[in-house]
Amino acid sequence: MFRNLFGKKKSDNQEKIITSPMSGDLVDITNVPEPVFSQKMMGDGIAIVPTDGVVVSPVDGVVINVFRTKHAIGLRSKCGVEIMIHIGLETVELNGEGFEMYVEDGQDVKKGDKLLTFALEKIHSKSYNLISPVVITNMDEKVTKMKKLNLDNTVICGTPIMRVLLK
């Protein structure tokens, strides 16, 4: 009652878990051989060296950006955290070849829903680096603290990879 009286809304200040959207080897974002990611220009996060070509939603939320070339997707979790999943490096040059998208902009998704698939061997055979950043793009607005989980381990889809404390 008093918090409403003084115009303050109780802060969620909750911890949320973001799970792995892919199976593979988990590494810190600073190990991605692309400065846009390793220097955290897009935000902080992790990267996965995938062992298969299936990408699932790491959160309950909504699709906010399906890249035309299908190599990346943006999501907004129900708590407002925005996540970009970027498959490989320089894979925009493939113009969607080897990628199949299962969702569209504005679509609601649940944790574990299939978002896209990609032809891992085909993309690798064209000499593209498959390391795939998973980045929180609105850290400053939504996240007080982030802890990276399971770094330097092999994970499967759904394994916790980040714990965030919301503002």
Strand partners, 157: none
Cβ atoms of 42 and 103 closer than 8 Å: no
Q: Which amino acid is at 58?
A: P
3-class secondary-structure state, position 25: strand
Separation CA 11–CA 33 (nearest Å): 37
Q: Which residue has the tokens 């692309």?
A: 34
- The answer to whether 71 is a known catalytic residue is no
CA atoms of 7 and 39, how far apart (whole Å): 39
**Interatomic CA distance for residues 66 and 117, integer angstroms:** 13
Which position has the token pair 């607005």? 141
Catalytic position from the list 86, 91, 94, 132: 86
For 25, 94, 137, 140, the CA distances from 132, given in Å and listed in that order, are: 10, 15, 15, 22
Catalytic residues: 86
